[in-house]
Amino acid sequence: MRNSIILSLLVCFSFAFTSFSQLTLTGPDNDQANPLDCGTVSAITLNFTDGPTNYGSNMDEIIVFCPDLSQGTKVSIAFATNIGFTWNVDPTDTLYVYDGPSIASPLLGAFNSGTDPNGFFVQASFANNPSGCLTLRFKSNGSAEGTGWDAHVACSNASQPFFPHMEAYKNGVGPNVLNPLDTGYVDVCFGDSIMFVAKPLFPYSLENTTHGYSQNANNCTYDWTIGGIGQFTNDTIWFTPPQRSGYFVDLRVTDPFPLIERITCKVRVSQLPSFAGTGPLQDTVCLGQNTNLIGGVTPTDTVGIDIPEGEFQIGGIFAGLTFLPDGSGAQYQTTIGITGFNDTTTFTSGSNIDQLCLDIEHSYIGDIEITLTCPSGQTVSLLNAYNQAGGLTPGGCGNGISTMLGNDTDIDGGTPGSPVWSYCFSETNATFGTICAENAAGNTVINDYGWESMNPNGVYLPDEPFSGFIGCPINGNWIITVQDNQGIDDGYIFQWGLYFNQSLYPNSEGYQNIVMNEFWTSDPTIISGQNDTLIVIQPTNPGSYNYTYNITDDFGCDYDTTVTLFVQPLPEIFDTGLGCNMNYQVTGTTSYAGGVWTCADTAIVINTPTMENPNIATSTPGTYTVTYTDNACNNVLTAEIYYPPYAWTETFDSVICQGATLLLSANVNSTINNYVWSTGATSPTIEVSTPGNYIVTGSNECYTITDTATIGNKLCTLSAPNIVSLSSTVGNNMFFVQYDGIAEFNCAILNRWGNVIYEYTDPSGGWDGKTAGGDVVDEGTYFYIIHATFEGGREITEHGFVQLKH
C-alpha cells in the first residue's frame, strides 16, 4: 500500500511538470501581484528546491510566496528528510522565514540542519499576517555548504481561528453575570434560571476579510455540556440547576471547517444554610423574664448558621483543534488544563481514567506517535507505530503500516474529511487491543473517501497502561503530543477529551458561601444586642412569640428562619371559694407546669397538694387563706375559702287573745343569713293575729333549717276579790286581779272619801292593805278603779269595792 502511494505521488509529480514550473530559491517571487495558483502548487509534493545543484557560498537570496486569496488564505512549507524530501543546510548557514510579504514582516524562525535536523513546518499566521504570505531569506557563508532541500509549498484555506465568547443572564434579564467574563462563575440562587448565549467572534472570516471561508454565528454548530446534566445544542440554552451544586459548563463551537473552539465556565448554586443553632436560648420562659436569641455574624464570630460546602458536578474535560502538518520528527501538542479537583488528589490507579477520546485524522499511521503526559511530566504512549531512530518513544510496530486514522481525504494541506471520527483509549474499558495489534489483525474499515482506516467502533488499549501516571496530581496541564516522523502526510486533532473516573469526584473543587448581611426582623420585644450574636428579648405578655432571622449570602440569595419563644402565662386559680359540708373542691386551675397548694392554718387539710385541683377540707367553720405556687416560675397566688357554720334557729308556740296580735320571732344568730316564713315574710320577726302553725326557714350559703310555732286563741278577761283578810293564811290576804291577755294595766285603790291611797300598774301585782306610804289602813270598805287594755287592743274599765279586814 505504501509503495502504491509513493508511485502515485511520482506520477502526479511527473504530470505536474507539464503545466507547472519548479519553485526555486532564485526563481521569481510569487508575491501578492503574482500569487501562487493554490490548486496547482498544492498538488505537487516536491515543488520547492534550493536549485538544481547544491547551494553556493555567500548566498543572500529572498523569495516571497503569497497565496491567491480567492483559492487559499495561507501559505505553508514542509521540510523533511524522507520519502523524497531532503533537508541539508549547514549549521553555519541559515534559512529565515518571515510571516508576511517581506523581510520586514515578523520572523517566524531561523532554521538549519543544526537547529532542525529532521526538517520543520511553517505556515503563515492569522494574527499578524492577513496577506497569508511567507517570505524566505537564505544566507550562506563561505566556510561550508550543504546539499540544500527539496520541500513542499502549499496554500489552502486553513482553519480560521475564532474566539468562542459566552454570556450568561440570570433569569434571562439584566447584565451579563459571568465573572470574570467568558470563563468565570455564574453565581445563582436555587430556583434561578440561567440563559447562556454563545457569541463567538470571527475576525478572519470571509465576511470580515473577503477571503477564506464563510464563518458566522449562523453556520456554526453549538454543543453545550453541563457536568452531571447532559448535552444541549443551539446558540442559546436555558439551564435551571436541579440541585444546590456546582456545574461545569463546556461550550463547543464548531465552524464549517470544522474548527472547534471551546470555552468553559462554572455555575455555582447557593448552598442552603442550616439554622439548626439559631433560636432562643430557652424555648419557654416566664413572663417578665429576659432570654437570648442565638444567631448572628460579627467580624469575629458566626453563631447559629452553618453553610455547607458546595461541590461541582464534573464531566469530560476537552481541548480543541490542533493541525498535524507534514513533519519529519516534528512534535505537535495540545493541552487540557484540569482545575476541577482538590489540589491533593493524585492518580492512584489506571482505572482513574475511564477513557481518553480523540477526534483525529491522519493520512498515514506508520510514522505517527501519540503520547499523553500528566502534570508532573509522567508520559504514557497511546499509539506508537514508528520503529525507526529518532522516534518519540522507543519501540513501535513498524513504519510499513500504511493504514490511515479517521476519515482522512489524503489531500496534503487540504480541508479535513467529514464527518470526523473518534478514537478512544482505556485501560479498563477497552474492547479492542492496541492500534498496532488491531491493524495487524486487519481490524480496519474503508472511510468515506475510499481509504483504509482503523476501525473507530470500539475502545482501544493504550500502548502503555495508564497506571504509569500513579502519583501524578490530577490538577494541572495534561498534554497530548503527536510526532509525525515523515513527510507527505498530515492530519488534525479536532478535539480530545479526558474522562476521569467518578471515584475521584468527591475530592473535586468546592466553594463556600459566606454571609454578607444578616439581621433579626425588628420586634418591640428585642431590647438589645441587634449587632451581636446574642439578642436580648423580653416579651411583655404571655403567649407564643415568633422571631425571624434573615441572612443574605455572597451570591445575593436571601434565607430566613423563624423561631418561636413561648412565654408562660401566669397561673390562674379561683378568687374565693365556698366550702359546704366543710369541703371545697378546687376547679379551674391553670398552670403551665403545675404547682403546690399550701395553707398556714393547721385546721385546713389539703388532699394531694401537688394536684392542680385538690380537695381542701376543715372541721372548723371560718374563712381561710390558701396559697398556690407554680413550679415553673414560682409565681404565688392566694385565695380565700369560706366554710359556713351549720345553720340553727328556733321559734316558740303561743296563745293570743281573740282579736289580739302577736310578734312572733325566730332565734337570730350568726349561722343564719336569710329567713323565710311560711307567710312569705323574710324578717326574723313577724306579726300574727290568727291562730295556726307558723313555719320559719333559716339558711346560710350552704345550709337550711326550719322550725314551727303553733299559735292558739283565747278569751281574755280580768276579775278582782271583794274581801281581803290581811291575817289570812289561805291566800286572800292581798288584793289582786285575776287576768289573761292584758297588755296594759292600771289599778287605783280609793277610800270611802274617794281619795287614792294606793296605785299600781303591773297586773301581776296587788294591794297589801297599805297606803302608798306603807301605812296599814283601817278595816272597812274600799273602792278600786281598773283601767286595762287587752292584747289585741280592747280597753276596759272596771269599778268595784273590797271589804278589808285585819
- Cα distance between residue 616 and residue 605, in whole Å: 6
pLDDT tens digits for range 177-221: 999 999 899 999 999 999 999 999 999 999 999 999 999 999 999
- Cα distance between residue 74 and residue 38, in whole Å: 10
> Cα-atom radius of gyration of the chain, to the nearest Å?
65
The reported pLDDT for the residue numbered 470 is 95
- Cα distance between residue 36 and residue 440, in whole Å: 42
Residue 324: closest CA among 374, 369, 387: 369
Q: Which amino acid is at 762?
A: D
Omega before residue 299 within 30° of 0, cis: no
The reported pLDDT for the residue numbered 13 is 38
The reported pLDDT for the residue numbered 643 is 96
With a CB cutoff of 8 Å and minimum separation 6, the contacts of 211 are 69, 70, 73
Where are the strands (E) in 443-501, listed by range? 444-446, 452-454, 459-460, 476-484, 491-500
Is 635:570 a contact under the CB 8 Å cutoff? Answer: yes
pTM comes to 0.64
The reported pLDDT for the residue numbered 328 is 53
- Cα distance between residue 312 and residue 475, in whole Å: 15
The reported pLDDT for the residue numbered 403 is 87
Alpha carbon 579 to its chain centroid, in Å, reads 60
With a CB cutoff of 8 Å and minimum separation 6, the contacts of 558 are 189, 550, 551, 552
The reported pLDDT for the residue numbered 488 is 58
Please state whether beta strands 595-599 and 704-714 pair in parallel, antiparallel, or not at all (unpaired): unpaired
Residue 295: closest CA among 655, 550, 122, 628: 550
For residue 40, which phi and psi values (nearest 5 degrees)? -75, -50
The reported pLDDT for the residue numbered 487 is 61
- Cα distance between residue 107 and residue 102, in whole Å: 10
CB atoms within 10 A of CB 542: 15
Mean pLDDT of successive 10-residue segments in the chain (806 residues)?
36 41 92 94 90 93 96 93 90 97 97 94 93 97 93 92 96 94 94 97 95 95 87 94 90 90 92 89 87 78 79 56 54 74 84 88 83 94 83 74 83 73 92 92 93 94 94 89 72 77 63 90 87 84 92 95 92 94 95 93 94 94 96 93 95 86 90 94 93 95 95 86 89 88 91 93 93 92 92 86 92
**Per-residue DSSP letters for 655-724?**
EEETT--EEEEPPP-TT-SEEEETTS--SSEEEE-S-EEEEEEEE-SS-EEEEEEEEEEE---EE--SEE
CB atoms within 10 A of CB 172: 11
Cell of 8: 502515485
DSSP state of 115: T
Q: Which amino acid is at 531?
A: N
Is 635:571 a contact under the CB 8 Å cutoff? Answer: yes
**Per-residue DSSP letters for 550-583?**
EEEETTS-EEEEEEEEEEEPPPB--SEEE-GGGE
Residue 423: closest CA among 411, 412, 432, 410: 432
